Amino acid sequence: MKAYNVKKLSYRDELARKNRLFFILKLAGFFTALVALVGGGVYFLFFTDKLEIKDITINGLETFDRDLVMVEINKQFDHEKFGYLHTQRNIIFFDGNALEANLLSRNPVLKTVRVGKKLSHQLTVDILERKPAGIWCAGSECRYFDAEMQTWGPAARSSGFLLLTVEDNRPREDFAIDADFFRAIHEASANLPGPTVKSVVIPENSFDEFRIYTDKDFYLIFSLGASIKNQLEVLKIFLEEKMKDPPPAGGFNPQYIDLRIEGRVYFK
Protein backbone atom coordinates (compact mmCIF):
# COMPACT_ATOMS: atom_id res chain seq x y z
CA MET A 1 0.00 0.00 0.00
CA LYS A 2 1.26 3.48 -0.99
CA ALA A 3 0.92 6.41 1.43
CA TYR A 4 -0.05 9.97 0.36
CA ASN A 5 0.80 13.19 2.13
CA VAL A 6 -2.57 14.99 2.35
CA LYS A 7 -1.00 18.31 3.29
CA LYS A 8 1.29 18.16 0.30
CA LEU A 9 -1.64 17.41 -2.04
CA SER A 10 -3.67 20.27 -0.61
CA TYR A 11 -0.76 22.63 -1.12
CA ARG A 12 -0.43 21.54 -4.74
CA ASP A 13 -4.19 22.03 -5.35
CA GLU A 14 -4.05 25.48 -3.80
CA LEU A 15 -1.06 26.41 -5.95
CA ALA A 16 -2.85 25.17 -9.11
CA ARG A 17 -5.92 27.23 -8.23
CA LYS A 18 -3.78 30.31 -7.73
CA ASN A 19 -2.02 29.71 -11.05
CA ARG A 20 -5.36 29.31 -12.85
CA LEU A 21 -6.71 32.45 -11.22
CA PHE A 22 -3.57 34.36 -12.18
CA PHE A 23 -3.85 33.09 -15.77
CA ILE A 24 -7.53 34.07 -15.94
CA LEU A 25 -6.83 37.51 -14.52
CA LYS A 26 -3.90 37.94 -16.90
CA LEU A 27 -6.04 36.85 -19.88
CA ALA A 28 -8.86 39.14 -18.77
CA GLY A 29 -6.41 41.99 -18.44
CA PHE A 30 -5.06 41.30 -21.91
CA PHE A 31 -8.52 41.28 -23.49
CA THR A 32 -9.50 44.39 -21.53
CA ALA A 33 -6.40 46.18 -22.80
CA LEU A 34 -7.06 44.90 -26.33
CA VAL A 35 -10.68 46.12 -26.27
CA ALA A 36 -9.54 49.45 -24.87
CA LEU A 37 -6.85 49.73 -27.52
CA VAL A 38 -9.20 48.82 -30.38
CA GLY A 39 -11.95 51.00 -29.01
CA GLY A 40 -9.56 53.88 -28.54
CA GLY A 41 -8.21 53.40 -32.03
CA VAL A 42 -11.69 53.35 -33.56
CA TYR A 43 -12.65 56.42 -31.58
CA PHE A 44 -9.48 58.23 -32.61
CA LEU A 45 -9.86 57.31 -36.29
CA PHE A 46 -13.57 57.81 -36.81
CA PHE A 47 -15.01 59.86 -33.96
CA THR A 48 -12.44 62.63 -33.74
CA ASP A 49 -11.34 65.05 -36.45
CA LYS A 50 -7.63 64.22 -36.10
CA LEU A 51 -7.54 62.50 -39.52
CA GLU A 52 -10.75 63.85 -41.02
CA ILE A 53 -10.55 65.22 -44.56
CA LYS A 54 -11.06 68.98 -44.30
CA ASP A 55 -9.08 70.47 -47.18
CA ILE A 56 -10.14 69.45 -50.72
CA THR A 57 -8.24 70.88 -53.69
CA ILE A 58 -9.45 70.26 -57.26
CA ASN A 59 -7.04 71.19 -60.05
CA GLY A 60 -7.31 71.29 -63.84
CA LEU A 61 -10.98 72.14 -64.31
CA GLU A 62 -11.78 74.18 -67.42
CA THR A 63 -15.33 73.40 -68.50
CA PHE A 64 -16.28 70.69 -66.02
CA ASP A 65 -18.37 71.73 -63.01
CA ARG A 66 -16.54 71.50 -59.67
CA ASP A 67 -19.82 70.67 -57.95
CA LEU A 68 -20.01 67.40 -59.89
CA VAL A 69 -16.66 66.37 -58.43
CA MET A 70 -17.85 67.28 -54.95
CA VAL A 71 -21.01 65.21 -55.43
CA GLU A 72 -18.88 62.09 -55.99
CA ILE A 73 -16.64 62.91 -53.01
CA ASN A 74 -19.63 63.45 -50.74
CA LYS A 75 -21.14 60.15 -51.86
CA GLN A 76 -18.05 58.43 -50.55
CA PHE A 77 -18.08 60.50 -47.37
CA ASP A 78 -21.65 59.34 -46.69
CA HIS A 79 -20.83 55.66 -47.14
CA GLU A 80 -21.27 53.80 -43.84
CA LYS A 81 -19.26 50.77 -42.77
CA PHE A 82 -21.08 48.39 -40.42
CA GLY A 83 -24.05 50.73 -40.60
CA TYR A 84 -22.54 53.62 -38.66
CA LEU A 85 -18.82 54.19 -39.35
CA HIS A 86 -18.06 56.89 -41.95
CA THR A 87 -14.67 55.44 -42.81
CA GLN A 88 -14.32 57.38 -46.06
CA ARG A 89 -14.08 60.68 -44.21
CA ASN A 90 -10.73 59.49 -42.86
CA ILE A 91 -7.73 60.52 -44.96
CA ILE A 92 -6.14 57.07 -44.48
CA PHE A 93 -9.16 55.01 -45.50
CA PHE A 94 -10.53 57.26 -48.25
CA ASP A 95 -10.64 55.20 -51.47
CA GLY A 96 -8.97 57.36 -54.10
CA ASN A 97 -9.12 54.60 -56.74
CA ALA A 98 -12.90 54.39 -56.40
CA LEU A 99 -13.26 58.15 -56.82
CA GLU A 100 -11.09 58.10 -59.95
CA ALA A 101 -13.10 55.22 -61.46
CA ASN A 102 -16.47 56.79 -60.67
CA LEU A 103 -15.58 60.18 -62.13
CA LEU A 104 -14.14 58.70 -65.32
CA SER A 105 -16.99 56.24 -65.91
CA ARG A 106 -19.73 58.84 -65.40
CA ASN A 107 -18.07 61.79 -67.13
CA PRO A 108 -16.48 60.96 -70.50
CA VAL A 109 -15.26 64.56 -70.87
CA LEU A 110 -12.62 63.71 -68.25
CA LYS A 111 -9.50 62.13 -69.71
CA THR A 112 -7.58 61.44 -66.49
CA VAL A 113 -8.26 61.79 -62.76
CA ARG A 114 -5.55 61.45 -60.11
CA VAL A 115 -6.34 61.49 -56.39
CA GLY A 116 -3.67 62.34 -53.84
CA LYS A 117 -3.80 62.26 -50.03
CA LYS A 118 -1.62 64.15 -47.59
CA LEU A 119 -1.76 63.75 -43.82
CA SER A 120 -3.55 64.73 -41.97
CA HIS A 121 -6.47 66.53 -43.68
CA GLN A 122 -5.69 67.22 -47.36
CA LEU A 123 -7.28 65.56 -50.40
CA THR A 124 -6.13 66.59 -53.89
CA VAL A 125 -7.90 65.77 -57.15
CA ASP A 126 -5.97 66.50 -60.36
CA ILE A 127 -8.13 66.42 -63.48
CA LEU A 128 -7.27 66.53 -67.17
CA GLU A 129 -10.20 67.31 -69.46
CA ARG A 130 -10.49 66.11 -73.03
CA LYS A 131 -9.90 68.69 -75.75
CA PRO A 132 -12.66 68.68 -78.39
CA ALA A 133 -11.44 68.13 -81.94
CA GLY A 134 -14.88 68.73 -83.36
CA ILE A 135 -18.60 68.06 -83.18
CA TRP A 136 -20.14 64.89 -84.59
CA CYS A 137 -23.85 65.03 -85.42
CA ALA A 138 -26.05 62.02 -86.13
CA GLY A 139 -29.70 62.83 -86.68
CA SER A 140 -30.80 65.41 -84.15
CA GLU A 141 -28.03 64.57 -81.68
CA CYS A 142 -24.62 66.24 -81.61
CA ARG A 143 -21.67 65.45 -79.36
CA TYR A 144 -18.12 66.68 -78.97
CA PHE A 145 -15.38 64.26 -79.99
CA ASP A 146 -11.61 64.21 -79.50
CA ALA A 147 -8.68 62.68 -81.35
CA GLU A 148 -9.23 59.37 -79.53
CA MET A 149 -12.80 59.12 -80.89
CA GLN A 150 -14.25 59.60 -77.40
CA THR A 151 -17.56 61.47 -77.45
CA TRP A 152 -19.36 63.56 -74.86
CA GLY A 153 -22.02 66.18 -74.93
CA PRO A 154 -24.52 67.28 -75.91
CA ALA A 155 -23.07 69.93 -78.21
CA ALA A 156 -24.67 72.64 -80.31
CA ARG A 157 -24.29 72.42 -84.08
CA SER A 158 -21.58 74.73 -85.37
CA SER A 159 -21.04 76.13 -88.83
CA GLY A 160 -17.85 78.04 -88.08
CA PHE A 161 -14.16 77.16 -88.27
CA LEU A 162 -13.31 76.89 -84.57
CA LEU A 163 -14.44 73.26 -84.38
CA LEU A 164 -14.83 70.78 -87.20
CA THR A 165 -18.47 69.72 -87.59
CA VAL A 166 -19.25 66.30 -89.05
CA GLU A 167 -22.82 65.72 -90.22
CA ASP A 168 -23.43 61.98 -90.46
CA ASN A 169 -26.74 61.80 -92.32
CA ARG A 170 -26.91 58.04 -92.64
CA PRO A 171 -29.86 56.33 -90.90
CA ARG A 172 -28.93 54.66 -87.61
CA GLU A 173 -30.49 53.21 -84.49
CA ASP A 174 -28.06 54.71 -81.99
CA PHE A 175 -25.29 57.30 -81.76
CA ALA A 176 -21.93 55.86 -82.72
CA ILE A 177 -18.95 57.19 -84.62
CA ASP A 178 -17.89 55.01 -87.54
CA ALA A 179 -14.17 54.33 -86.98
CA ASP A 180 -13.34 54.03 -90.70
CA PHE A 181 -14.98 57.35 -91.52
CA PHE A 182 -13.44 58.95 -88.44
CA ARG A 183 -9.88 58.02 -89.43
CA ALA A 184 -10.39 59.07 -93.05
CA ILE A 185 -12.02 62.40 -92.14
CA HIS A 186 -9.31 63.14 -89.58
CA GLU A 187 -6.53 62.42 -92.10
CA ALA A 188 -8.16 64.44 -94.89
CA SER A 189 -9.07 67.48 -92.79
CA ALA A 190 -5.69 67.59 -91.02
CA ASN A 191 -3.70 67.51 -94.26
CA LEU A 192 -5.95 69.35 -96.69
CA PRO A 193 -3.80 71.45 -99.09
CA GLY A 194 -5.01 74.98 -99.68
CA PRO A 195 -8.62 75.48 -98.55
CA THR A 196 -9.68 75.66 -94.90
CA VAL A 197 -12.10 72.99 -93.70
CA LYS A 198 -15.48 74.29 -92.65
CA SER A 199 -17.53 71.13 -92.20
CA VAL A 200 -17.81 67.51 -93.30
CA VAL A 201 -20.91 65.70 -94.51
CA ILE A 202 -21.50 61.97 -94.85
CA PRO A 203 -24.45 61.73 -97.28
CA GLU A 204 -27.57 59.81 -96.32
CA ASN A 205 -27.02 57.00 -98.84
CA SER A 206 -23.22 56.94 -98.50
CA PHE A 207 -21.32 53.69 -98.42
CA ASP A 208 -17.79 55.08 -98.48
CA GLU A 209 -18.18 58.73 -99.54
CA PHE A 210 -17.78 61.92 -97.52
CA ARG A 211 -17.68 65.56 -98.52
CA ILE A 212 -15.51 68.33 -97.14
CA TYR A 213 -16.92 71.85 -97.33
CA THR A 214 -14.30 74.60 -97.24
CA ASP A 215 -13.96 78.35 -97.15
CA LYS A 216 -14.08 78.23 -100.98
CA ASP A 217 -17.25 77.99 -103.03
CA PHE A 218 -16.63 74.34 -103.91
CA TYR A 219 -16.68 71.16 -101.86
CA LEU A 220 -14.44 68.09 -102.08
CA ILE A 221 -15.62 64.49 -102.46
CA PHE A 222 -13.45 61.77 -100.91
CA SER A 223 -13.82 58.00 -100.79
CA LEU A 224 -12.82 55.39 -98.22
CA GLY A 225 -12.30 53.03 -101.13
CA ALA A 226 -9.03 54.71 -102.11
CA SER A 227 -6.00 55.96 -100.19
CA ILE A 228 -6.78 59.29 -98.51
CA LYS A 229 -3.12 60.19 -98.78
CA ASN A 230 -3.15 59.63 -102.53
CA GLN A 231 -6.35 61.61 -102.94
CA LEU A 232 -4.77 64.52 -101.09
CA GLU A 233 -1.63 64.37 -103.24
CA VAL A 234 -3.71 64.42 -106.45
CA LEU A 235 -5.73 67.34 -105.10
CA LYS A 236 -2.55 69.28 -104.28
CA ILE A 237 -1.15 68.79 -107.80
CA PHE A 238 -4.49 69.70 -109.35
CA LEU A 239 -4.85 72.92 -107.34
CA GLU A 240 -1.25 73.95 -108.02
CA GLU A 241 -1.79 73.49 -111.76
CA LYS A 242 -4.98 75.52 -111.65
CA MET A 243 -3.20 78.33 -109.82
CA LYS A 244 -0.57 78.46 -112.60
CA ASP A 245 -3.10 78.95 -115.35
CA PRO A 246 -4.23 82.51 -116.17
CA PRO A 247 -7.64 82.80 -114.54
CA PRO A 248 -10.60 83.12 -116.91
CA ALA A 249 -13.40 85.51 -116.15
CA GLY A 250 -14.46 84.79 -112.62
CA GLY A 251 -11.43 82.51 -111.98
CA PHE A 252 -11.49 78.76 -111.15
CA ASN A 253 -14.81 78.37 -109.42
CA PRO A 254 -16.20 74.81 -109.65
CA GLN A 255 -19.17 73.45 -107.77
CA TYR A 256 -17.23 70.45 -106.51
CA ILE A 257 -13.98 68.49 -106.98
CA ASP A 258 -14.38 64.71 -107.03
CA LEU A 259 -11.36 62.66 -105.90
CA ARG A 260 -13.02 59.26 -105.56
CA ILE A 261 -11.38 57.66 -108.60
CA GLU A 262 -7.78 56.64 -107.84
CA GLY A 263 -5.29 59.03 -109.47
CA ARG A 264 -7.95 61.20 -111.16
CA VAL A 265 -9.78 64.45 -110.50
CA TYR A 266 -13.24 65.32 -111.75
CA PHE A 267 -14.90 68.66 -111.22
CA LYS A 268 -18.00 70.50 -112.22
Going residue by residue through the chain, which has 268 residues, state the pLDDT in tens, using 9 for 90 and above.
555 555 555 656 666 676 676 667 676 666 766 665 665 555 555 666 888 999 999 999 999 999 999 999 999 999 887 767 888 898 998 999 999 999 999 999 999 999 999 988 999 999 999 999 999 999 889 999 999 999 998 988 875 667 899 999 999 888 889 999 999 999 999 999 988 899 999 999 999 999 999 988 899 999 999 999 999 999 999 988 887 765 554 467 889 999 999 889 999 8
Task: Categorise residue 153: left if φ over 0, alpha if ψ from -120 to 50, beta otherwise.
Answer: left
- pLDDT, one tens digit per residue, over 146-164 is 999 999 989 888 756 678 9
Q: For residue 46, tell me if it sits in a domain.
A: no
Do 121 and 194 belong together in one domain?
no
Do 145 and 261 belong together in one domain?
yes
Rg of the chain, C-alpha, whole Å: 36
Q: For residue 220, tell me if it sits in a domain.
A: yes
Q: For residue 193, tell me if it sits in a domain.
A: yes
Q: Domain ends where: 112, 129, 146? A: 129
Do 86 and 175 belong together in one domain?
no
Do 104 and 78 belong together in one domain?
yes
Do 180 and 87 belong together in one domain?
no
Do 150 and 260 belong together in one domain?
yes
Do 150 and 73 belong together in one domain?
no
User: Residue 211: beta bridge partners?
Assistant: 201, 221
Long-range contacts of 251-257 (CB under 8 A, 24+ apart): 253/217, 253/218, 254/218, 255/217, 255/218, 255/219, 256/211, 256/218, 256/219, 256/220, 256/221, 257/218, 257/219, 257/220, 257/221
The domain total for the chain is 2
Host domain of residue 113: 55-129
Does the pTM of the predicted model rise above 0.85?
no
Q: Domain ends where: 107, 129, 151? A: 129
Q: For residue 74, tell me if it sits in a domain.
A: yes
Domain containing residue 74: CATH number: 3.10.20.310
Q: Domain ends where: 75, 110, 129? A: 129
Q: For residue 70, tell me if it sits in a domain.
A: yes
- pLDDT, one tens digit per residue, over 133-146 is 999 999 889 999 99
Do 90 and 201 belong together in one domain?
no
Do 121 and 151 belong together in one domain?
no
Do 145 and 230 belong together in one domain?
yes
Do 162 and 250 belong together in one domain?
yes
Domain containing residue 147: CATH number: 3.40.50
Do 192 and 94 belong together in one domain?
no
CA-to-CA distance for 263 and 167, rounded, in angstroms? Answer: 27
Q: For residue 183, tell me if it sits in a domain.
A: yes
CB atoms near residue 122 (< 10 Å): 14
Q: For residue 33, tell me if it sits in a domain.
A: no
Q: For residue 16, tell me if it sits in a domain.
A: no
